[in-house]
Amino acid sequence: METVSTNEGSGKGAMWELERNLDQPMDAEAGRLRNMYREKTYPTILLLRLAFQSLGVVFGDLGTSPLYVFYNIFPQDIEDTEQVIGALSLIIYSLTLIPLVKYVFIVLRANDNGQGGTFALYSLLCRHAKINIIPNQHRTDEDLTTYSRQTYDEKSLAAKIKIWLEGHQFRKNVILILVLFGTCMAVGDGILTPAISVLSATGGIQVEVPGMRNDVVVIVSVVILIGLFSMQHYGTDKVSWLFAPIVFLWFILIGVLGAVNIYKYDKSVLKAFNPIYVYRYFKRGKTSWASLGGIMLSITGTEALFADLSFFPVQAIQIAFTTVVFPCLLLQYTGQAAYIATYKKKVNHSFYYSLPESILWPAFVVATAAAIVSSQATISATYSIIKQALAVGCFPRVKIIHTSKKYLGQIYSPDINWILMILCIAVTAGFKNQSQIANAYGTAVIIVMLVTTFLMIPIMLLVWRSHWSLVVLFTVLSLAVEIPYLTAVMQKIDQGGWVPLVFAVAILIIMYVWHYGTLKRYEFEMHSKVSMAWILGLGPSLGLVRVPGMGLVYTELASGVPHIFSHFITNLPAIHSTLVFVCVKYLPVYTVPPDERFLVKRIGPKSFHMFRCVARYGYKDVHRKDDDFEKMLFGSLLLFVRLESMMEEYTDSDEYSARDQQELIHEASSDADLSYASRDSIVPVRTPNHGSGGQTTMTMTPGFQTVGDEVAFLNSCRDAGVVHILGNTVIRARRDSGFVKKFAIDYLYAFLRKICRENSAIFNVPHESLLNVGQVFYV
């Protein structure tokens, strides 16, 4: 923050003192708010209720896996019962090691204030190491109540890892690409989960009507999928009260059916709990290794445990999984194996064949409902993933609608919804076969799990400060299970496994090109920003006629005056009497509390009437239609002016404390009437500075006589009209650039910018108040 007068002894003026005081956190208050956000405790009854509700949102995908697992393990004839026992043994220990041990008890702890998923891990890393590609963070961002990070001893392993990660741009790019690739695979999961879940559930019709053609099942599945995607705009909050009872009923059904089948058909399958049968299974040859792709489907949906964490506390998910989900799945897989060991020719739709005939149709209805619920959870998770990618500048701006006033994470994107529907229907109608869709599904899921494993390594070292031996143990056990599964699904690339890879590569190209263009635009603004010496040289009028009104100049910069401003004032004869440079930036936190959203500072002397306002958002925050961005910004501006005046009165006091600042903030925020009679006069004011010997120097600076005058002036500017000035920086590839760069910048990035939403639409800027200023930049 610049001031006209400076202290001769220290070189620091009163405005510097003000900035320092504003940036100082109130330790007691900040500590209380941090505990409120990070250390929530729940009564036992409430925790049990949340655990029950989590069944409908988190576990639907994992719970519907028994519909198609054994068919994909044994697409050919089964040799003997021991082969079934070996496959069952692999399922049991895969469920134990991956969902139970790795995710429920380890990975879920790596949440970002209750938020899960790939970007939550990346946000944690960005706060503990400076690996964010766009360096637009400021030290004041670390004072947010939702911003948590740790400091390290210089000789510790964590400090060395941090320095190594920050040491080279290549390492930062590798982490970013890893996160983006995992995100792309998670989006592919959102396309494939509805396809395989609904198709597998509706396949039960063929058990009751054996002569029915497969095309009819596909048509029924497509109709259900169209209905599912068409209802998305209502939001999960409207129908979520049905989810938990449906999935709970489903788990009870499969658990009881599994127990009955064990007793009724073949109790020898219980030998599968002996891990020796895993060894014997692999000794059978290459067919056993190839079947790993089908066995891996038993743990699909596990990644949803982490991605959907934002809806429920970790303890609720742990209770639901250990008391309901895990035992019911074990009973169902064991019971289904007992049936298959007896009827080896009926492995196709073995779940439905193992049902008593009297409950076949009710079970079919429940299975279809559970498949729809599992699809809903994955689709909602996809919206959240896209929103998080958009927040960090890695995805084109799309329309995001907040569907719930109670839950922060429940959003809907119509653009993404219809793209998902088209791709999902294309997969369902194109393959018409569970086996090929399952191969594609398995590829997407295992890659997401591997990305999570690799990101957990720096999380354990930097955030948890775990001993290196524990990190090695976690990594070895995770990779020992996931690498064999990866090699198995890679062998089926030509049998459907290529689908998620194609999706992922296409989405990755879009995300990386958009991020590259965003980064280059930011670098251009950083390197070409206007110097304050030039601004001050223009004088209070900025060399133009200052007309009544307020101009909001939007910029990517959190500090400095953007180049677009010089372009603006050199081409127009007049400028607004008050200017506010607005920077909207996203931070690596899940949310920014509304009372901490805006940072306001003054640019130049008071007579220039120029301010900078930084609006900070988390990756879960959404700009709602009912949010009056302009009103909130103006309120923060008035509050700053009053606080600035109050704090100037305290600069000579040696007893100034955080408590005084808190009282001032309370006084300013509780004062409803901020309008005063205007006395538009320019008079000399005193700027107190601490000179040597306790004396105060006098500096003549034009300004307002009282704070009321400036508040009245700002109110009059707003009443005269607010104009939103948006910079439209167009980037182009240089003539000597290669073909790939020219295609990426001049065609792909230009096309994405053309079809994406404008910033004016995101902030609900009226068209009549909008002014676009364009410029071209060559990279």
Confidence of residue 31 (pLDDT cuts 50, 70, 90): very low
If you average pLDDT over residues 433-444, what whole number do you get? Answer: 78
> Of 263-267, 334-338, 404-408, 438-442, which range is least confident?
404-408
Would you state the pLDDT for residue 32? 37
Instruction: Report pLDDT for 236.
Output: 59
Rg of the Cα trace of the chain? 30
Is-above-0.85 flag for pTM? no
Q: Output 11 or 105, whichever has higher pLDDT.
A: 105
Q: Is the pLDDT of residue 437 over 60?
A: yes
Tell me which of 123-127, 181-185, 564-568 is least confident: 564-568
The helix/strand/coil state of 373 is helix
DSSP 725: E
205, 220, 250: which is closest to 65 by C-alpha? Answer: 250
Which residue bears the tokens 């109540």? 145
- Report the largest interatomic distance among the alpha carbons of the chain, rounded to a whole angstrom: 101
Q: CB count, 10 Å around CB of 212?
A: 14
Which pLDDT band, with edges at 50, 70 and 90, does 551 fall under?
confident
Amino acid 703: pLDDT:
53
Choice between 750 and 700, residue whose per-residue pLDDT is larger: 750
Q: What is the average pLDDT across 403-427?
A: 79
Tokens of 45: 């009854």
Among 454, 374, 415, 295, CA closest to 58: 374
**705 confidence band (pLDDT: 50, 70, 90):** low
In this prediction, residues 420-429 reach a mean pLDDT of 89
Distance CA 644, CA 646 (A): 6
pLDDT of residue 91: 93
Please give the average per-residue pLDDT across 468-494, as a whole number. Answer: 89
* Residue type at position 141: D
Q: Are 127 and 147 in contact (CB under 8 A)?
A: yes
b/e code 111-126 from CB counts within 10 Å (16+ = b) = bbbbbbbbbbbbbbbb
Structure tokens at 454: 């690799």
Q: Does residue 435 carry a pLDDT above 60?
A: yes
User: What stretch of H or E contains 772?
Assistant: strand 770-778
Asked if 608 contacts 2 with a C-beta cutoff of 8 angstroms, the reply is no
Residue 766, judged by CB atoms within 10 A of its CB (0-12, 13-18, 19+), counts as exposed
pLDDT in tens, 647-675: 766 554 443 333 344 443 444 444 433 33
Q: How many helices (H) and strands (E) does the chain have?
A: 32, 10
Burial 331-350, CB ≥16 within 10 A → b, else e: bbbbbbbbbbbbebeebbbb
Mean pLDDT of the chain: 77
Residue-by-residue DSSP string for 147-177? -------TTSHHHHHHHHHHT-HHHHHHHHH
Res 759: pLDDT: 63
**Signed CA dihedral, 386, 387, 390, 396: sign only:** positive
At 625 the pLDDT is 55
Q: Which two tokens stand for residue 217?
A: 């099942």
Which regions of 156-256 does DSSP assign to beta strands (E)? none
Position with higher pLDDT, 300 vs 134? 300
Report the range out of 560-569, 709-718, 764-773 with the highest average pLDDT: 709-718
Whether the predicted pLDDT of 156 surpasses 60: yes
C-beta of residue 400 within 8 angstroms of C-beta of residue 620: no
pLDDT per residue as tens digits for the range 344-396: 888 887 888 888 888 888 888 888 888 888 787 778 778 878 887 887 778 88
Q: What is the pLDDT of residues 750-763, one digit of tens each?
A: 888 888 776 656 66
For 81, phi then psi, to 5°, come to: -65, -35
pLDDT at 695: 34
At residue 95, the pLDDT reads 93
Whether the per-residue pLDDT at 208 is higher than 80: the answer is: no
